[in-house]
A and B are shown apart, each in its own frame.
Chain A
Amino acid sequence: MAMTKKQAVYFCTGCGIGEALDIQALVKVATGEFKIQDVKEHPFLCSPEGVDLIKKDIEAGVNTVTIAACSERVCYGVFDFGPSVIVERITLRERVAWVQEPGDEDTNMMAEDYVRMGLTHAKAAELPEPFVVENPSKTILVVGGGLTGMTAALEGAKAGYDVVLVEKGAALGGWAGSVYKLPPLAEPYTEPEQNSVPTLTKAIDDNPKIKVYTAAAMESISGGPGVFEAKIKLNGDTANARVGAIVLATGAKPYDPKKLGYLGFGKPNVVTHADVEEMAKNGKLKDVKRVAFIQCAGSRDQEHLPYCSAACCVESLKQAAYLKEFNPDAQAYIFYKDIRATGKYEYFYKAVQQTGAVFVKTEIPGVQVNEDGGKLAVEADDIILGEKVTIGDLDLVVLANGMESTASFGEEVVLESEEEAAAAKEDEPAAPPDQIIKSNLLNLAYRQGPEMPALKYGFPDSHFICFPYETRRTGIYAAGAVRATMQVPTAIEDGTGAVLKAIQCVEAVARGEAVHPRAGDISYPEFNMNRCTQCKRCTEECPFGAINEDEKGNPLPERTRCRRCGTCMGACPERIISFKDYSVPMIGGMGKAIEVPEEDEEKPRILIFACENDAVPALDMAGISRMKYSAWVRVIPLRCLGSLNLVWISDAMSGGFDGVMLLGCRHGDDYQCHFIKGSELAEIRLSKVSETLDRLGLESERCRMHQISIMDYYRIPKLIEEFVEKIDELGPNPMKGF
């Protein structure tokens, strides 16, 4: 329900704003052009007296407050007046007073435009109301019952949540369940640890909050966070579960030893880590005396697995310890490139060294495994001794054969429908599709494919160092060796962290809030379906696969999958997608509110659309650093450049702007866009508008995009200056005045 607005505007004149700007002229914009009666100024608005001034007006009925002062990044808490008051901030300090010549005519024109833009937005914005699903489920589904999944299930249940745990095998445990012992997990980190899987299994069996399905797999998952419908395939039967969020913990598979013939696999007594675990469990290690371990068997090898499998060094140390346990006379030889016993595992490495194990540094492809009269011999170049060594009379050669994610097996899904294939023929630039591998783990009933998008080597990992649980499928969190190769303690930590994210997701959904990175946001996109032309751009471009389609091609947004970035809003050529506080007309209106001087005034205007995650803070930092830049620019912050709608650019160009600049996050392999594809999509859209501009006889150079990070703030004045020079070169926009 739209509220009746009662607007007020407050100008702060502190921190140099009053000295730099003609505040009376700004007041006149508010009272004259926008007919707002409540307009006040204060020399120190963020002081208790200043805030009281605003509070009194709110008590008297003001419900839309525009604060023309400093950046909300710097001064945030004091201007929070609760959920029923719309607060619009105009950043006069960092974006005008501190970056422009004080008292200059152009400086004031800039400030006046920012007042117009802010008031236009404040006038149009509505208070968002949360989208709350009926009876949201807070149950967590954990797919995969290995160490990571068992940990996730148990930790989630301990926090009070119901858990459904689905395991493909006949019993819980996964890979960890199959080993004799685990590597050390606690001080003093010197001996293998009793396998905790039986204890964990019992704890899970005894926990009434956990429902376990073994010999089970996911048949399908539809819906979204809070309202997932999971079908679980059992032996000849199907179980249904309504769940709120999902942890994907299906683990890894050992690298196929059949591919390791070059290291002797196939010869008698050349075995893998898994074989040694079996031998240990069956007591068969007591007759084994001389054993060679070959590390990086398939890992760190461009011909096989280019990555390091992370666990194998510690696993071999553990198995070397087994040898001594069963036979004190046993001798281990470990052929390695680097012993990666990181952190406290250094203690374990040292302990195994002290038992007499011999370590030979060598290059792994290059090690020869030969049969030696019923025994085996390993020949290698010892880098430390600088000579060839041969270790013979070996009972066993163990290949430390690494791991591959269970998500990496399967055919790649091709999503292109016939129409899309036809569109592709027109050579329209498009963002590369997500790589979806049909690994049969989740079987999502999503228009965007049945599994999590894969990153390099098929791992459904996060691309963010700071946000390792960032996910491209909202409410589904990958954990453990399915996500990245890892050691045992890391898998336990990962299962714990992932289930917290799942819990956080179900709680956020119950409150009607977004999850990371817009956690707490209650606005969501609404689709005006009357005008939809079934072009499918929104479904295709949503980075999170939040939109399904009906058979006619109408979008069916799954609201709780939405991350509120607005990429769909930017994609839609019919402009039917809007948020209560963010829409195509609202942002477009801000651009239109800017006064564009006539050509003969020789005051060009450049509109900058800047991503609020990195580019806007960078602009703030340029301001805080008192850098000076051109007075011709006006900045509109966007949720993400992915929400950039082309109509804003064409409106700007036909409205007489001389140039448009986009500032967004880095894209490509090392993307930094918090919504994954937003900045990339914006760049693609920009390339399309360039063609339109060319056709209109406007130079495509009038629009450009820069990828910047927050740390590039010191480059901003230069980037703007270069663009201003280009615009000068091109001359004024001939559309001015039309």
Chain B
Amino acid sequence: MTAALEAAEVGYEVFIVEKNPYLGGRVAQMHHYFPKLCPPNCGLEINFKRLRRNPRIKFFTCAEVEKISGRKGDFDVDVKVSPRFVKPECTACGECVEACPAERLNDFNYGLDKTKAIYLPHPFAFPMKYLIDRGACADSCSKCVEACKYNAVDLNMSPETVNLKVGAIVYATGWKPYDAGKISYYGFGRHKNVLTNVMLERLAVPNGPTEGRIERPSDGKEPETIAFVQCAGSRDENHQAYCSQICCLATLKHITYIREKNPNAKIYVFYIDIRALGKYEDFYTKVAQDENVVFIKGKVGEITEDPATGDLTLETEDQGAGKTVTQTVNMVVLATGMAPSTLEARIPSELAALDAGGFVISSVSETGIGGAGCARKPMEVSATVRDATGAALKAIQATVGGGE
């Protein structure tokens, strides 16, 4: 959104192609930003407002780039728009939800709860339009069609292809949490009380699946002892060799969530290095002063579950003490890092280049197709915004042909 808005506010025409049914991306799923601990929806709201009042931006949701041809300054792009099964006439009145008998896992909340088959992606969704997960519907059901007074539901909607002519293409496709299930010795997916950091965001948020209660999935109890496992899948040749940059600060932030809600909670952080660059150091200093937070240098080897209590035991080499130590806690949060979305959903053009990790390394000003933000390398929110602002300039250069 930043790349688009910044270019549009210079005066250029921009299209946003978004895969999700809403704009805002990963940050829409966050409770707070570090280190200010302010809500992402605040900044998103300003961006939506900028977008609403700017006639130079058009956007597509549920859309993916299918084909790119042409060259810098003159691209032809096919965008596949998947059906929402709800037409733009939707007023977001919500009556369809009352009528809908089917449910689906809520991907916005990382599967921690369910929505109806016809649903609003999340309370702040922009655009505020419903859609249907047709895979969740019963075959002959059309209750939502009947419930909609505005004739906005169309169960026969089919995919469309939109053709766009553009001068430059910025991939700002962001990241996905590294699949914690791949780190088999941590037991994610097997041990109920092993969560990932992004799931904790949804537990902390007041309009999330638990209305802001940080509780164990196994029994709904508030954990008294929590361990954070840093570099879960990052800085690891067997998983992702790079450092994901944000996970240290994300954990420090998560500690503030827990400590604010539970004054007795005891927290253990297993880490290799705490990477709080620049002024973020102040945030680390503040959190580290908390007597209930213990930082232990060492990489966690294995996590085992006590099936009776749901508690978890972490085995780690405490490099400080030079011996193997174990720590039993009520809940474990894996600080999983970021995998670029372009790792799986490759860019359909030879003018785009990726590194081994799937990050975009071609430059918009050189080949006409480049990356911005976490599509390019791991970075935190303010860095992605700066980078996207720069990407807008590179795109303009490619468009005006001033870049030669």
Pick the contact of B123: A187, A306, A346, A624 (CB < 8 A): A624
Residue of A with least CB distance to B231: A346
Chain B residues closer than 8 Å to A46, beta-carbon distance: 89, 91
Q: A159 CA to B12 CA in the complex, in Å?
A: 12
Chain A, range 160-187, C-beta contacts under 8 Å to B: 160, 186-187
Residues 444-502 (chain A) with a chain B CB within 8 angstroms:
456-457, 459, 461-469, 484-487, 490, 493-494, 496-501
Contact, CB under 8 Å: A613 / B276: no
By the criterion CB–CB under 8 Å, are A44 and B245 in contact? no
The verdict on A507 contacting chain B, using a C-beta distance below 8 Å, is yes
Number of interface residues of A (CB under 8 A): 92
Q: Chain B residues with Cβ under 8 A from A464's Cβ?
A: 43, 382
Binds A, one of B64-72, B235-243, B254-262: B235-243
Q: Give the distance in Å from the alpha carbon of A76 to the alpha carbon of B41 in the complex.
A: 18
**Partner of A709 from B39, B53, B150, B243 at Cβ < 8 Å:** B39
Q: Tell me which of A125-133, A334-342, A367-375, A388-396 binds B.
A: A334-342
Chain B proximity mask over A519-552: 1 for CB below 8 Å, otherwise 0: 1100000000000000000000000000000000
Q: Is the CB of B383 within 8 A of A711?
A: no
Tell me if A160 and B36 are in contact (CB < 8 A). no
Most chain A C-beta atoms within 10 Å of own C-beta, residue among B42, B274, B404? B42
- A158-B403 contact in complex given A340-B277, A621-B124, C-beta closer than 8 Å: yes
A467, B388: Cα distance in complex, Å = 11
Question: Chain B contacts of A484 at CB under 8 A?
Answer: 278-279
Asked if A273 is an interface residue, CB under 8 A from chain B, the answer is: no
A499 and B393 contacting across the interface, CB-CB below 8 Å: yes
A634 contacts chain B at the CB level, 8 A cutoff: no
Q: Is the CB of B243 within 8 A of A306?
A: no
Q: Which residue of B41, B285, B322 is within 8 Å of A711 (Cβ)? A: B41
Cross-chain contact B93 with A16 (CB below 8 angstroms) = yes
Contact A501 B389 (CB under 8 A): yes
With a cutoff of 8 Å between Cβ atoms, the chain B residues found around residue A303 in the complex are none
Query: CB of B264 within 8 A of chain A?
Result: no
B245: which A residues are within 8 A, CB to CB? 342-343
Given A383-B297, A621-B124, verify A308-B42 contact (CB < 8 Å).
no
Is A640 interfacial (CB 8 A cutoff)? Answer: no
Contact B43–A467 (Cβ < 8 Å): yes
Smallest Cβ-Cβ distance to A457: which chain B residue? B279
- Check if A42 is an interface residue, CB within 8 A of chain B: no
Collect the chain A residues with CB atoms within 8 Å of residue B5's CB: 519
**B9, A493: Cβ atoms under 8 Å?**
no
Q: Is B214 an interface residue (CB 8 A)?
A: no
Please give me the residue from chain A that is nearest to B211 by CB atom: A714
Q: Are the C-beta atoms of B389 and A710 separated by less than 8 Å?
A: no
A670 pairs with B43, CB closer than 8 A: no
**Chain A residue nearest in CB terms to B11:** A507
B10: Cβ under 8 A from any A Cβ: yes
B279 and A456 contacting across the interface, CB-CB below 8 Å: yes
State whether A613 and B45 are in contact (beta carbons under 8 Å apart), knowing that A159-B396, A386-B321, A711-B206 are contacts in the complex: yes
- In the assembly, what is the distance between CA of A632 and CA of B395, in Å? 52
The interface residues of chain A lying within 8 Å CB-to-CB of B176 are: none
A361 to chain B, nearest CB (A): 7
Q: Given A47-B89, A158-B403, A519-B54, answer yes or no on A466-B381 (Cβ-Cβ < 8 Å).
A: yes
B6-A493 in contact (CB<8A): no
If A187-B355, A338-B274 touch, whether A672 touches B42 (CB-CB below 8 Å) is yes
Q: Does B280 contact A (CB under 8 A)?
A: yes
C-alpha gap A47/B281 in the complex (Å): 53
List of A residues within 8 angstroms of B192 by Cβ: none
Interface string of B309-348 (1 = CB under 8 A from A): 0000000000111100000000000000000000000000
Q: Are B390 and A500 closer than 8 Å at their CB atoms?
A: yes
Chain B CB within 8 A of A15 CB: yes
Query: What is the distance, in angstroms, from B96's C-beta to the closest C-beta of chain A?
Result: 12
Find the B residue at minimum CB distance from A456: B279
- Given A500-B6, A507-B11 in contact, is the A710-B42 Cβ separation under 8 Å? yes
- Cross-chain contact A519 with B9 (CB below 8 angstroms): yes
Query: Which of the candidate stretches A21-29, A67-75, A575-583 sits at the interface with the other chain?
Result: A67-75
A666 — nearest CB in chain B belongs to which residue? B38
A307 to B281, Cβ gap below 8 A? yes
CB-based contact B320/A465 at 8 Å:
no
What residue of chain A has the Cβ atom nearest to residue B403's Cβ? Answer: A158
Residue A625 at the B interface, CB < 8 A?
yes
B385 touches A159 (CB 8 A): no
**Which of chain B's residues has its CB closest to A670's CB?**
B36
Proximity bits, A340-370, B CB within 8 Å = 1, else 0:
1111111100100000000001000000000
Q: Is A300 an interface residue (CB 8 A)?
A: yes
Any A CB within 8 A of the CB of B104: no
Q: How distant is B20 from chain A, measured CB to nearest CB, in Å?
A: 18
Asked if A614 is at the interface of the complex by the 8 Å CB criterion, the answer is yes
Across the two chains, which residue of chain B brings its CB closest to A490? B383
| Inter-subunit contact B382/A468 (CB<8 Å) | yes
Contact A714 B206 (CB under 8 A): yes
A155 contacts chain B at the CB level, 8 A cutoff: yes
The residue in chain B whose Cβ has the minimal distance to the Cβ of A15 is B93
Interface core residue of A310, A462, A710 (most chain B CB under 10 Å): A710
| A350 to B237 Cα, complex, angstroms | 11
Measured in the bound complex, the distance between the Cα atoms of B123 and A517 in whole Å is: 24
A308-B377 in contact given A346-B243, A466-B382 (Cβ < 8 Å): no
A323 part of interface (Cβ distance < 8 Å): no
Q: Is the CB of B123 within 8 A of A341?
A: no
A637 contacts partner chain B, Cβ-Cβ < 8 Å: no
Alpha-carbon distance A187/B362, docked complex (angstroms): 11
Pairwise interchain contact A465-B38, C-beta atoms closer than 8 A = yes
- Residues of chain B within 8 A (CB-CB) of A70 are 91
**Interface: A585 (CB within 8 A):** no
Q: Which of A308, A344, A511, A710 contacts B277 (CB 8 A)?
A: A308
The CA of A519 and the CA of B6, in the complex, are separated in Å by 10
Which chain A residues border B355 with CB–CB below 8 Å? 187
Q: Are B150 and A14 in contact (CB under 8 A)?
A: yes
Nearest opposing residue in chain A for B389, CB measure? A497
Alpha-carbon distance A601/B36, docked complex (angstroms): 46
Chain B's closest residue to A477 (CB) is: B389
A508 within 8 A of B: yes
B183 within 8 A of A: no
Q: Which residue of B lies closest to A459 (CB)?
A: B279
A384 at interface, CB cutoff 8 A: yes
- Which residues of chain A come closer than 8 Å to B275, judged between CB atoms? 338, 340, 342
User: With A158-B365, A159-B397, A346-B243 known to touch, is A466 a contact of B279 (CB < 8 Å)?
Assistant: no
Asked whether B221 is an interface residue with its Cβ less than 8 Å from the other chain, the reply is no
Contact A75:B241 (CB < 8 A) given known A465-B38, A500-B389, A624-B123: no
Given A310-B278, A504-B6, A507-B10: A47 in contact with B150 (beta carbons within 8 A): yes
In the complex, A472 Cα to B355 Cα: how many Å? Answer: 39
B394 within 8 A of A: yes
| B128 within 8 Å of A (CB atoms) | yes
A674 at the interface (CB under 8 A from B): yes
Q: Which residues of B contact A (CB under 8 A)?
A: 5-6, 9-11, 33, 36-50, 52-54, 89, 91-93, 123-124, 128, 149-150, 205-207, 235, 241-245, 273-282, 285, 297, 319-322, 355, 359, 361, 365, 377-379, 381-383, 385-390, 392-394, 396-397, 400, 402-404
Shortest beta-carbon contacts, A-B, top 7: A466-B43, A496-B390, A497-B389, A338-B273, A500-B393, A711-B39, A497-B390
* Chain A to chain B contacts (Cβ below 8 Å), 14 pairs: A47-B89, A73-B128, A160-B400, A339-B273, A340-B273, A345-B243, A464-B43, A466-B44, A466-B46, A496-B390, A500-B390, A515-B9, A624-B123, A670-B36
Apart from A468-B385, A614-B45, what 12 extra A-B contacts exist at CB < 8 Å?
A: A47-B89, A187-B355, A187-B361, A308-B279, A383-B297, A385-B322, A466-B385, A500-B396, A511-B11, A520-B50, A520-B53, A714-B207
Chain A residues within 8 Å of B, Cβ to Cβ: 14-16, 44, 46-47, 70, 72-77, 155-156, 158-160, 186-187, 300, 306-310, 338-347, 350, 361, 383-386, 456-457, 459, 461-469, 484-487, 490, 493-494, 496-501, 503-504, 507-508, 511, 515-517, 519-520, 613-614, 617, 621, 624-625, 665-666, 670, 672, 674, 709-711, 714
